[in-house]
Structure 1
Amino acid sequence: MSITEYQQNMTAEYCFPDNNSSCRKEVRTGPGNIILFIFLSCIIICNVFLNLLVILSISHFKQLHTPTNLLILSLAVADLLVGLVFMPVNTMQLRDSCWYLGKMACTIVLIINYISMSASVCNMVFIAVDRYIAISDPLLYSTKVTVSKMSLCIILGWSFSLLYILIYLYFNDHLLPSQILSRCHGECILFIKSSLVTTDLVISSICPCSVILILYSIIFTLARRQAKAVRSMLNATSNRHRANVSKSSNSKAAKTLGIVVSVYLALWIPFSLCSLFTENMTSLSLVSTVLIWLISINSSVNPLIYAIFYPWFRATAKYIVTCRLFKLSPSTFH
């Protein structure tokens, strides 16, 4: 052993100094890391604040209890779990590589993280289906899609997410605390088996991306066709002003859908490609950490995309921020 290696061993810090099998403790400091932690903390705060705004708004006002808003509520709950569990835990692990909470907590955190992300994707698919039905058959939408039916779909979606994650972790040998593999004491890492990478990629990424992309492509086509029909009818009655309003409304809706598709694909496709071409990928590798954080940022962007464009959200947000929400009757909304 060289003198340099000996000095490094003497000055090395360990997660559990009294344990011979303890992992080495890596604490990241310096201006660059401080800026990174401040940035990630801001993302966490925005995630929690925006998703709580959505949850309080829809939960409090009975007028907002519509099938589409229930999906937005479910999505906000899933995204809030990402902001309350996944983001803080990963931020702490970026600053301090040690895991102090034991294997049981490691398993629970893994399950919550994957359920929240899986449920978030599942809700996005439901929203795409909901909007497709609304624009393809608007006259029968209210009879086809009801609050009770949508509630059942949401429950099934969360149940499927839980079942899928339990099966996935079981076959990946991470479901039970005794199955958690660690190179040393004080480590919580998810080692993904190469045999499960492709299966998980298809179920949790390729299929949802394909469904959303196909449905939104059809929505764009139908919206453009309906806009042309409306403009033709309005031109026949020489009502130019109403035609301009209709055109502006359809243009705004098209832009919103474009943002939805672009952000979702931009944040999920890099992780999917990396998973496809990487044989052994751990949850603490640099590339994996960056790509997973991109996915989690999607949970912070979702309330902006799905809610902030709606007038009811801007109105209810004012009541919440000014602490006037509970002074109003749940059935009163302007």
Structure 2
Amino acid sequence: MGTTCNPRDPPPPLTDSINANIYISQYILLGIVIILTIFGNLLVIISVCHFKQLHTPGNILILSLAVVDFLIGLLVMPFKFSKYVEHCWYFGDTITAIMLCTASIIHLCLISVDRYFAVCHPFRYKNIVTAFVTFIFIVFSWILSAVLGFIIMFLELNIKGIEDQYVNTKCVGSCYLMQNEASGLSSSIFSFYIPGIVMICIYIKIFSVASRQAKAIRDAGHQCHEEQKKRAASNRRETKAAKTLAIVMGVFLVCWVPYFLCNIIDPLLNHVMSPLLIELLDWFGYMNSTFNPLVYGFFYSWFRKALKLIATGKIFQNNSSRTKLIKNSNTFIHFLNQSRLQSAHSCFHSAMQLCWKPAVALAMDKPSSTDTAVVLRRIVPLGGGSLALSTLVWAKDLSKLS
């Protein structure tokens, strides 16, 4: 229908030891990629499904992403891998690859939306991102992906106007999806550019909010030794958040930008790009599904703990599903001791200017995964001319920030 085999010379016989080593290296490398994709995402699926503490709307999105990437490793990569042995695609059209890859990208976009509300609107997060909303997100991603795949493959809109070229190039060789200019542009916009731009804007906003919150701590506590410790911890968390966001976007862009640029440029150049290059860029995109469990899983402390329990077989023990992987995120920081405040009056003197000024404080018993608390400070009279800083805290689990 829309998949074509572009002519090229058959591969040289494997009589030469150098050629043999190259092909064997290809097989080993792609085999490792497939295994990592399948088992990496399978570990994320088992972790989120088994441990009840992880049954949250945000983690359900990560679970759905892992399912999509697992299917890419199971249903798409092995058949694409077979091309390198048989040198052509014998398994029909590529609607499965189109649908699953699009679903994976849309899931990444929806996860960024979830993080936006968790970080930028923490008070409203649980009311906005509910289990029902998460379900709608997931259904939307699958339906949109299926519609795009159906439009491209079954309606054959991708070859409208280039039917003669498509027929003339359908032969044994290197298989790839041939698209006309309109199809290449529209499919790239809906499958990649719109979700990608949304992700970039959201992550810039998230980092901006995190930086502003960290600065609030520095401004409020620059005169106090204890606050300086908080400032140092805040800087470390800010740096970690920046690295995490940079890795998230970096991996996504490196994997998919080259392919979708080629997807637009190749039809404009009358399909002169090397099929081998298109195949290589295609695999770069698939490898985003390999890296997703690393970026969205291994960066979380709860996943490392879950992986340890899975590897040691402890998940088969009774009540293992109730294992506490994340420390209690609903921490309440008690009102500061009155006498301590009076003795440290000079340290908090500048806080008089912070009446009901929002800031962010690091929770005292939080793990390094970054639970934080949103704080409202106000000055209240104690009598005798003394002042105390009343601190009321609503702790919010913003572990998705890093």
User: TM-score with structure 2 length normalisation?
Assistant: 0.69
Question: CA 1:31–1:187 in structure 2 vs 1: closer, same or farther (change >3 Å)?
Answer: closer
1:331 CA drift (Å): 2.5
1:198 CA drift (Å): 0.9
Read off the aligned partner of 1:325 and give its amino acid letter. Answer: I
Tell me which residue corresponds to 1:285.
Answer: 275
Note if contact 2:72-2:101 (Cα within 8 Å) is conserved in structure 1: yes
* Alignment pair present for 1:142 and 2:126: yes
Of 179, 186, 193, 1:206 maps to: 193
Tell me which residue corresponds to 1:127.
Answer: 111
1:193 CA drift (Å): 2.7
1:284 CA drift (Å): 8.5
Alignment deviations for residues 148-180 of structure 1 (CA, whole Å, 9 cap, x no partner): 2112211121111112211222332689xxx99
Note if contact 2:38-2:73 (Cα within 8 Å) is conserved in structure 1: yes
* Alignment pair present for 1:318 and 2:302: no
* Alignment pair present for 1:245 and 2:233: yes
Note if contact 1:25-1:98 (Cα within 8 Å) is conserved in structure 2: no
Note if contact 2:99-2:149 (Cα within 8 Å) is conserved in structure 1: yes
Note if contact 2:77-2:286 (Cα within 8 Å) is conserved in structure 1: yes
Larger Rg: 2
Tell me which residue corresponds to 1:217.
Answer: 204
Read off the aligned partner of 2:43 and give its amino acid letter. Answer: L
Give the secondary structure class of the aligned counterpart of 1:235.
Answer: coil
1:255 CA drift (Å): 0.9
Q: For structure 1, which segment, 116-125 or 140-149, has the greater mean C-alpha deviation from structure 2 after superposition?
A: 140-149
Unpaired segments ≥5 residues, structure 1? 1-22
* Alignment pair present for 1:93 and 2:80: no
Q: Quote the Cα distance in structure 2 between the aligned partners of 1:28 and 1:221.
A: 56
Question: CA 1:60–1:232 in structure 2 vs 1: closer, same or farther (change >3 Å)?
Answer: same
**Higher relative contact order structure (alpha carbons within 8 Å, sequence separation ≥ 6):** 1
1:26 CA drift (Å): 5.4
What is the CA RMSD across the aligned residues, in angstroms?
A: 2.7
Q: For structure 1, which segment, 55-64 or 228-237, has the greater mean C-alpha deviation from structure 2 after superposition?
A: 228-237
Question: CA 1:45–1:259 in structure 2 vs 1: closer, same or farther (change >3 Å)?
Answer: same
Q: Quote the Cα distance in structure 1 between the aligned partners of 2:224 and 2:63.
A: 41
Q: For structure 1, which segment, 236-245 or 127-136, has the greater mean C-alpha deviation from structure 2 after superposition?
A: 236-245
Question: CA 1:301–1:283 in structure 2 vs 1: closer, same or farther (change >3 Å)?
Answer: farther
* Alignment pair present for 1:106 and 2:121: no
Q: Quote the Cα distance in structure 2 between the aligned partners of 1:32 and 1:24.
A: 17
Give the secondary structure class of the aligned counterpart of 1:192.
Answer: coil
Tell me which residue corresponds to 2:391.
Answer: none
Q: Quote the Cα distance in structure 2 between the aligned partners of 1:189 and 1:258.
A: 31
Tell me which residue corresponds to 2:323.
Answer: 332
Of 199, 205, 218, 1:231 maps to: 218
Note if contact 1:190-1:283 (Cα within 8 Å) is conserved in structure 2: no
Alignment deviations for residues 24-57 of structure 1 (CA, whole Å, 9 cap, x no partner): 9758741111111101111111111110010000
1:189 CA drift (Å): 4.9
Give the secondary structure class of the aligned counterpart of 2:222.
Answer: helix
Read off the aligned partner of 1:321 and give its amino acid letter. Answer: A
Q: Quote the Cα distance in structure 1 between the aligned partners of 2:48 and 2:273.
A: 35
Note if contact 2:158-2:179 (Cα within 8 Å) is conserved in structure 1: no
Note if contact 2:251-2:288 (Cα within 8 Å) is conserved in structure 1: yes
Note if contact 2:266-2:272 (Cα within 8 Å) is conserved in structure 1: no
Tell me which residue corresponds to 1:307.
Answer: 297
Tell me which residue corresponds to 2:138.
Answer: 154
User: TM-score with structure 1 length normalisation?
Assistant: 0.83
Tell me which residue corresponds to 1:3.
Answer: none
Question: CA 1:25–1:278 in structure 2 vs 1: closer, same or farther (change >3 Å)?
Answer: closer
Note if contact 2:38-2:74 (Cα within 8 Å) is conserved in structure 1: yes
Read off the aligned partner of 2:324 and give its amino acid letter. Answer: F
Read off the aligned partner of 1:167 and give its amino acid letter. Answer: I
Note if contact 1:54-1:73 (Cα within 8 Å) is conserved in structure 2: yes
Read off the aligned partner of 2:306 and give its amino acid letter. Answer: T
Q: Quote the Cα distance in structure 2 between the aligned partners of 1:85 and 1:234.
A: 55
Q: Quote the Cα distance in structure 1 between the aligned partners of 2:58 and 2:13.
A: 44
Unpaired segments ≥5 residues, structure 2? 1-7, 15-19, 326-402
* Alignment pair present for 1:194 and 2:181: yes
Give the secondary structure class of the aligned counterpart of 2:322.
Answer: coil
* Alignment pair present for 1:68 and 2:58: yes
More strand by percentage: 2
More helix by percentage: 1
**What percent of counterpart residues are identical?**
35
Tell me which residue corresponds to 1:12.
Answer: none
